[in-house]
Each structure stands twice: as C-alpha cells, then as structure tokens.
Amino acid sequence: MPRKIIIDTDPGKDDAVAILLALAAPEAVEVLAVVAVAGNVPLARTAANAAALLELGGRTDIPVYPGCAAPLTRPLVTAEHVHGETGLNGLELPPPARAPEAEHGVDAIIRLLRAEAPGTVTLCLLGPATNLAMALAKAPDIAPRIAEVVWMAGARSEGGNVTPAAEYNVYTDPEAAAVLLASGLKLTLMPLDLTHQLLVTRERLAALRALGTAAARATVAMFSEIDGTPQREREREGIPLHDPTVIAHLIDPTLFGGRQINVEVETASPFARGMTVADWYGVTGRPANALWLNAAAPDRFFALLEQRLARLP
C-alpha cells in the first residue's frame, strides 16, 4: 500500500524534480496535497509553480494550497540567483488550468492530518519548515497523527550553501527548524552531506534527455546550460540534486544510510544563523532527535530517477 504524503515545497528547480518523482511512483507514495511555502521565490510564484508541475505530470486532481508567505520571525531570503526569477530557470510552463486553492496551507495540513488515521501521513518538506511549525503551534493535536517528517535540510561536513555555516532551507527560517527539531516527531534529514554526492553530470543529463518524456525534458532544461553541459555549483562538475532525495528515500530507503543523532539549530549568532549542529559522535549526551542520512548510492539514485521519469507523460 502506498504511503500517504503531503509535499510542502518552494519550487525551485530541485523541488520540481522531487514533485515529478513523487507523481511517477504511485506504488510507493500517494500525494494527498501539495502545500506551497515562500522560499526559493515568493509564495505566489511557488504556489503557481507547484500547480503547473502537477499539470506537467498529469495530476491536476491533486490540490495546491498556498501557505506562509514569510518565515516565522524574519524577512524572507529568496534564491533567485540559483533558481531564476520564476524559480524554474530554463523551463517555461503554461499557466496551470487549476489554480491554487483558497484554503491556507497551514489549515490544509491540519485538516488533512485530522481526516486521516493517526500515523498514516508523512510530511515531505522540500523548503523552509515554516508551514509545519505554524501547524504544530496552531494545532498541537496533529503531532501524534504524523507518521514521519522527511526534510531536505542541514549540513555538517559540507558547511553551508547560503552562508559558510548554513544550508538554505534551515537558514531561511531557523526558528521553524528549531520547532521541528524539538517536536519529538519522527524526523529524517537529508543534508548537504548527502545531496552533494548526487551530481547531475553530462552523462546523467544525456541519459535523461534520451528518455524523451516531457518530465525528463523539463529536468534537463532546468539543470543544463545552453550548450547541454551541466550547470555548476562552485567548483563541482555538476549540480547537486537536493530535494528529490526526500521522495527517493520513501521509494527505496536502501539508497541512503546514516544514523540517529542529536541535531540542534543556531538561531542567535549573526555568523552561524541556521547552522545545524549535528552531534555525529554523541559527544553532547543529548538524546537523538533525527535520522541523519549522509551516505548515498549515486548511480542507483539516478537509475531510479530515470526509471520513474520515463513513466510520466
């Protein structure tokens, strides 16, 4: 039986691939809804992008709910320098036929969790954790109803990708991250330590291009330069594919490895805002609160991505 999921996202190029991967794996996940959050680009854009991506994947039956337009206590820091003004740099999609819903995403999360049997819905977080933090504050009764939270967030050995210390999803709303890390929920983190092993290379782009599906072409358009070579992130030979790890983990948990550790987040320091303090060796004695995944099988991951994207229109 597929696992019921809610995707909380700020699309974003890698978010887009994660959404498409989820749509291509109905045997593993049932997408109840997509909830948008402000992050890579502002909320109006992330919600519209989510709806357009569902249409690209042939699933206009799945509703999109716009959530929080800003972090809990801080101004929004967007990432157009990475994702472009639209959030889907390189990809042009028509306006979606089905517009995002009027219900606020936080209320939708609460309603959907209360409607399903306790312990049956997994939250897949691909952006800042603002929506879930707000939902937990507004309706504490939903916490025991959540099966698991799988979040692309954090960094330890890789440092940060928005500051020397912090990964973007945590940096954007560290207070929301702190709520989540203190919540007691079953939490799995997919940090940069993991995702930086999963590079979109020239060979992997060629394999995706050869599929010929609209979903595969969209992925290639977002992650390749005009001449067909992979985009670069700093000195790397390709660009890391971050958010699809969340969905890939649900499809095949043997792709990644790690261990249960304690993770805290820095919210006060002006230099280390959003830093995830991952106690890999257990030196603090603090109890474990997250499964930290930092080992990957890149070839198997990209083989899974190719197989699934070949299923979509």
Q: Which residues are annotated as catalytic?
A: 242
**Residues in contact with 303: Cβ distance below 8 Å, sequence separation at least 6, in sequence order:** none
Residues 147 and 186: beta-carbon distance below 8 Å: yes
* Chain position carrying tokens 């959030």: 87
In 3D space, the residue among 155, 257, 46, 11 whose CA is nearest the CA of residue 22 turns out to be 11
